[in-house]
Amino acid sequence: MKGKEKSRPGDCSTRTAAETGTACETASSSVSYDNTAAAGRQIQIKDYLLHGAENAVPRRHLRQLTGISDRDLRRRIQLERLAGVPILSSTTAGGYYLPSSVADLEHFVRSMQSRAKEIEAVASAVEAGSTEKGHGEMLEISPSIGR
C-alpha cells in the first residue's frame, strides 16, 4: 500500500467506535456494539467495509461487528445490493469489500451472471426430469411411519 495504512473494520479507535459504529474491546475484554451512526442513521453493512479485495471482511467478522445473525446479515447485504450499493464478495478474497476499480465491479458482475446461469440450468434440468416417467411421482408414505 502506498501512503498511510488503511485501518481494518473493527480497529478500535474513537473515530471508529463513534462514527462507524464498529465494535471495540475495552481493557476488560467486553465488546460493545452500536448499530447507529453519529448522525442518527442506522449503520449499513457498507459502512463496515473497505475498498479492494485485499481488504475483504469475512462474514463471521461482520457478524461480530454488527451483532446481527448470519441470516439477517446476508439479507441486509442483499437489500443494500438491490438498492445499488456495490458490496462485492469473493471466495478468493475471503469476504465482502467495496470495489477499488471498474475492473472489480465488472469481475463481480460476470461472476454473479455466471452463477445465475448455473442456477437456471439446474432448475431447468430438475423441472424437465420431474416430468419424465417415474421422476415426478410422489412416494406414498406408510401411516405407520413415525408412530
State whether 65 and 121 are in the same domain: no
**Each residue of 25-70: pLDDT tens digit?**
333 333 334 454 445 567 899 999 999 999 999 999 999 999 999 9
Asked, for residue 140, whether it belongs to a domain, the answer is: no
On whether both 58 and 111 belong to a single domain, the answer is: no
- Give helix 59-66 / helix 70-82 axis angle, nearest 10°: 100
Overall domain count for the chain: 2
Q: Are 135 and 129 in contact (CB under 8 A)?
A: yes
Q: Do 92 and 32 belong to one domain?
A: yes
Q: Are residues 106 and 118 in the same domain?
A: yes
Q: Residues 127-138: pLDDT tens digits?
A: 888 766 555 555
Residue 36 is given by DSSP the state B
Which amino acid, one-letter code, is at 52? G
CA distances from 22 to 15, 86, 132 (A): 10, 20, 54
Whether residues 61 and 40 share a domain: the answer is yes
Interval 84-141: pLDDT, tens: 999 999 888 889 999 999 999 999 999 999 999 999 999 999 988 876 655 555 555 5
> In terms of domains, do 89 and 105 share one?
no
Q: Which domain holds residue 114?
A: 101-131
Q: What is the DSSP string of 103-145?
A: HHHHHHHHHHHHHHHHHHHHHHHHHHHHTSTTTSPPPP--TTT
Q: 51 and 113 share a domain?
A: no
